[in-house]
């Protein structure tokens, strides 16, 4: 349980620092998209950000050329993510598309979804994500682009 809390803490800190940085950046750079009463938070970060013991628990392969896509669906005025169906793709500049394989992480009141991604240094990836809240008929769709760098 202690290791799971470390993963949650790491990801929450990452979201917080991303959100803080987004507050200083232009509005289009914010780390979430608003859909009515829901926000879909998203980020992509190098897998080496996760410690080896946490990676073992969740069967995450760490590497300098590996990243994780992190998605959380949050209802207004609530802390932590809520359950959802999450799917998506990533496409490089050569239009090579790959499906993202998300897995759910639950910790106390927080729910979020991670998908591993392999990349080359300075690779620009376009992400198309669909998030469907429980009880909703249609998914929320978001698109964003991220340039990934090999972790030295």
- Give the model confidence (pLDDT) of 118-135 as tens digits: 999 999 999 999 999 988
Q: Who has greater pLDDT, 136 or 1?
A: 136
Beta bridge partners of 68: 45, 116
- Give the model confidence (pLDDT) of 75-129 as tens digits: 987 888 899 999 999 999 999 999 999 999 998 888 999 999 999 999 999 999 9
CATH number for the domain running over 2-148: 2.60.40.3340
* Separation in Å, CA 68 to CA 123, 138, 150: 14, 25, 13
Domain ranges of the chain: 2-148
Q: What is the mean pLDDT of residues 126-150?
A: 95
Reply yes or no on whether the pLDDT at 22 is more than 70. Answer: no
Instruction: Give the integer Cα–Cα distance in Å for 2 and 131.
Output: 29
Average pLDDT, the chain: 85
């Amino acid at each position: 349980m202690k290791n799971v809390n470390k993963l949650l803490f790491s990801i929450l800190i990452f979201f917080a620092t991303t959100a803080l940085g987004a507050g200083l950046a232009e509005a289009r750079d914010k780390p979430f998209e608003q859909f009515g009463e829901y926000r879909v938070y998203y980020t992509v970060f190098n897998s080496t950000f996760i410690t080896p013991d946490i990676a073992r628990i969740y069967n995450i392969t760490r590497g300098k050329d590996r990243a994780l896509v992190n998605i959380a669906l949050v209802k207004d005025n609530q802390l932590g993510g809520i359950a959802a169906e999450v799917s998506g793709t990533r496409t490089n500049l050569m239009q090579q598309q790959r499906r993202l394989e998300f897995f759910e992480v639950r910790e106390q009141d927080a729910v979020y979804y991670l998908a591993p991604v392999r990349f080359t240094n300075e690779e620009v990836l376009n992400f198309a994500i669909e998030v469907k809240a429980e009880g909703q008929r249609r998914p929320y769709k978001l698109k964003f682009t991220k340039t990934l760098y090999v972790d030295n």
